[in-house]
Amino acid sequence: MRIKRHRAALGFLAAGMLLLSACGTDKNIPKGWEMNPELKSLQVECGTEPVVAEGSSAQKNAMDIFARAYGIKCEGQKLTYTASGSGKGVAAFTAGHVDFAGSDEPLNKEAGEVAAAAKRCDGNPAWNIPMVFGPLAITYNVPGVDDLVLSPEVIAKIYQGEITRWNDPAIRKLNPDAQLPAIDVVPFYRSDESGTSANFQKYLATATEGLWTGEGKTFRPGAGVGQGRSGSDQVTASVKQSEGGITYASWAYPKNAGLDIARIDSGNGPVALTGEAVSKAIDSAKISGQGHDLRLNLRSIYGNDKPGVYPLVLATYEIVCSKGYSPETAQGVKAALKVAANVNPETLEQAGFVALPPKFKREVLDAISAIQP
């Protein structure tokens, strides 16, 4: 029997769900995607039913853009996305309440998610398709310094409490021409469970070759180090209000707040956070999954120290059935994701995301095309 969404559950979800469509709010959606030649010329077999998804809040602004594009490219069709968090999104997907899940991490076999997803997909495997890449920025507020360079080791030592002043010799070595003030470093971190924290800690552990030992969605700095805040908006606001402040956050937050963003030196020169530098990191990514299951080997991204590469990137997935949807649902999921993969790169960058580079995009589109009823 082909999987169909539970209509009663959908009715419940619709009551509290943020509706993202051509007729929805455009307040936070950058303009300009309509001029994108790739999207204009895209041949897509539009769905006949609404596409419903749920999960990662890190994807929310990208999903706003995808939903608007889908609603206009496929006139009258809608993509709705509830930004409830990765765990709830995966649970809704495996229960058959939504068509796909957005997640900051691929399905976890040990936690039973792989088996539960296969059951939901009529006995077929679910695929993890990485489609939304949001670089993480190290943002700071240091008077007189607007071009700061940091290394992974220095960042780790700040959060371990080993570097406490902005004129520390380790920071001066990376910034020989900067007038670093003799003021305290004031680190802020996410106090809530966060995929951003999980990926930031994976990056630090990989890039420092084990100097950083923390892991998971709960960030644990050194004893007595820093101040916790809930949400990327709050850590960013705290840095803006605090002389000497520093934090990690999705790119859009410091951009919108007008804060400076550090360049990262992984050993082969400082690299600024730009779309091009992040694209190089994505293109270097190795796939650890099989076939069209595109789960990433994050070490291949976070450990990339080549010149011109910005490796601190949060990769988020769309979790889909490889097979087992109803024909109408499969058509809609494929159409919505194909549109998403072809939105204007400039529009995504304005919102703090990076478009799929060409080589990687081909792999993603091959996986989307392979989805079957």
How far apart CA 243 and CA 166 sit, in angstroms, is: 11
How far apart CA 285 and CA 363 sit, in angstroms, is: 12
How far apart CA 36 and CA 32 sit, in angstroms, is: 8
Residue 260 annotated in ligand binding = no
How far apart CA 219 and CA 235 sit, in angstroms, is: 13
Residue 57 annotated in ligand binding = yes
Residue 164 annotated in ligand binding = no
Residue 359: count of CB within 10 angstroms of its CB: 10
Of the candidates 370, 369, 361, 342, the residue with the CA atom closest to the CA atom of residue 42: 342
Beta partners for 149? Answer: 263
Tokens of 196: 């951003």
Residue 56 annotated in ligand binding = yes
Residue 328: count of CB within 10 angstroms of its CB: 14
How far apart CA 117 and CA 321 sit, in angstroms, is: 8
Tokens of 30: 């950058």
CB 360 within 8 A of CB 282: yes
- Cα 209 to Cα 152, 262, 266, distances in angstroms: 10, 21, 12
Of the candidates 268, 196, 183, 252, the residue with the CA atom closest to the CA atom of residue 229: 196
Residue 326 annotated in ligand binding = no
CB 276 within 8 A of CB 269: no
Longest dimension (CA), the chain: 68
Residue 213 annotated in ligand binding = no
How far apart CA 244 and CA 3 sit, in angstroms, is: 54
Q: What is the DSSP string of 78-129?
A: -EEEE---HHHHHHHHHTTSSSEEEESS---TTTTHHHHHHHHTTTS-EEEE
Residue 58 annotated in ligand binding = yes
Q: What is the dihedral of CA 38, 72, 4, 10, to 10 degrees?
A: 140
Residue 194 annotated in ligand binding = yes
- Encoded amino acid at 247, one letter: T
Task: Tell me if residue 260 falls in helix, strand or coil.
Answer: strand
Q: Which residues are annotated as a binding site?
A: 56-58, 86, 104, 194-196
Q: Which residues are annotated as a binding site for phosphate?
A: 56-58, 86, 104, 194-196
